[in-house]
């Protein structure tokens, strides 16, 4: 009430965040209801809501109907990771992009892939291996599985011309995307494909995408040595 200044949702967010940081509200604590905070800050409830959604998006608080808003008891560093289309990434640096389809076949998935897709019975998938080149040198090797049940059209796509990722990103929306990132020492066959020494440490990305609970594709990409992922946030 004494506060007659104009309140933007960012101000509100920062003040509430400040209270969390100075332990006015401690991890696990329940915050006042939005409506009460609105009264206290002298703003509309929607403004509190906007501020709270930002805090929730950043992993600072958790919100549940009826249970209210609580301070997360396990603070995390949350950042946003953009994985670009490889061609655009290479070309964006001013380098020359190349693409080479190594293999393409319809086959039974390995048990690991079947598990990732949640496949019960037998079901054949399209498996394509390809190499992305930067300035003529191996850049990223990918081993991809595509669900023929969810994406039958992929059979009509000429994968020797366009990378599956590019076609999928442009043509198939997804609801859910799981990513795993880890380091790996290259096995001999993979090292040969990438034209680098066996045992080299490379960054591996595995992605699985889904639409309404149906698997679209799973891809495992081996990047070349020195590859870095950078995030902003």
Partner DNA sequence: AAGTGGTCTAGACCACTGA
Partner DNA sequence: CAGTGGTCTAGACCACTTG
Query: What sign does the CA torsion over 148, 154, 160, 166 have?
Result: negative
CB contact burial 144-182 (16+ within 10 A = b; e otherwise): bbbbeebbeebeebebeeebbbebbeeebebeeeeeeee
**202 near a copy of itself, judged by CB under 8 A:** yes
Least spacing, CB of residue 40 vs DNA, in Å = 12
Q: Which is nearer to a copy of itself, 93 or 107 (CB)?
A: 93
Radius of gyration of the chain (CA): 24
State in angstroms the smallest separation of the CB of 31 from DNA: 7
Identify the bridge partners of residue 178 per DSSP, sorted by sequence position: 208
Selected from 77, 111, 189, 212, the binder of a copy of itself by CB under 8 A is 77
Q: Are 27 and 75 in contact (CB under 8 A)?
A: yes
Q: Which does 177 bind (CB under 5 to 8 A by kind): a copy of itself, DNA, none?
A: a copy of itself
Pick the closer one to DNA by CB: 10 or 155.
10
**Which stretches of the chain bind DNA, using CB under 7 A?**
7-11, 31, 33-35, 42-47, 49-50, 52-53, 56, 63-69
Q: Per-residue x/- mask for a copy of itself, residues 169 to 198, rule CB under 8 A?
A: xxxxx--xxxxxxxxxx-------------
C-alpha span between 52 and 40 (Å, rounded): 15
Nearest approach, Cβ of residue 131 and DNA (Å): 38
Distance CA 24, CA 187 (A): 53
| Residue the block writes with tokens 């990722």 | 165
Residue from 94, 121, 213, 233 touching a copy of itself (CB under 8 A): that is: 233
Q: What residues numbered 10-69 form the site for a copy of itself, per CB under 8 A?
A: 17-18, 21, 59
Q: At what angle do helices 34-41 and 45-57 cross, to 10 degrees?
A: 110
Q: How far is the CB of 81 from DNA (least distance, A)?
A: 22
Q: How far is the CB of 4 from DNA (least distance, A)?
A: 11
d(C-alpha 209, C-alpha 141), whole Å: 19
Give me the residues that bind a copy of itself (CB under 8 A), please. 17-18, 21, 59, 74-85, 88, 92, 169-173, 176-185, 199-204, 207, 223, 225-233
């Amino acid at each position: 009430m004494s506060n007659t200044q104009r309140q933007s949702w960012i101000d509100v967010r920062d003040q509430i965040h400040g209270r969390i940081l100075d332990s006015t509200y401690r991890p696990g604590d329940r915050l006042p209801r939005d409506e009460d905070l609105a009264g206290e800050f002298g703003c509309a409830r929607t403004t509190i809501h906007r501020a709270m959604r930002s805090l929730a998006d950043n992993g600072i608080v958790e919100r549940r109907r009826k249970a209210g808003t609580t301070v997360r008891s396990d603070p995390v560093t949350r950042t946003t990771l953009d994985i670009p289309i490889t061609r655009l990434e290479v070309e964006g640096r001013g380098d020359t992009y190349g693409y080479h389809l190594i293999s393409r076949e319809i086959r039974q998935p390995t048990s690991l892939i079947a598990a990732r897709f949640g496949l019960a019975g037998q079901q054949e998938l399209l498996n394509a291996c390809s190499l992305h080149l930067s300035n003529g040198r191996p850049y990223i090797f990918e081993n991809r599985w595509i669900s023929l049940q969810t994406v039958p059209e992929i059979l009509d796509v000429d994968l020797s011309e366009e990378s599956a990722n590019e076609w999928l990103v442009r043509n198939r929306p997804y609801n859910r995307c799981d990513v795993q990132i880890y380091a790996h020492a290259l096995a001999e066959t993979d090292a040969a494909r990438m034209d680098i020494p066996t045992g080299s440490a490379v960054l591996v990305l595995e992605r699985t995408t889904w639409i309404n609970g149906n698997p679209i594709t799973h891809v495992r990409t081996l990047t070349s040595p020195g590859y870095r992922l950078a995030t902003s946030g």
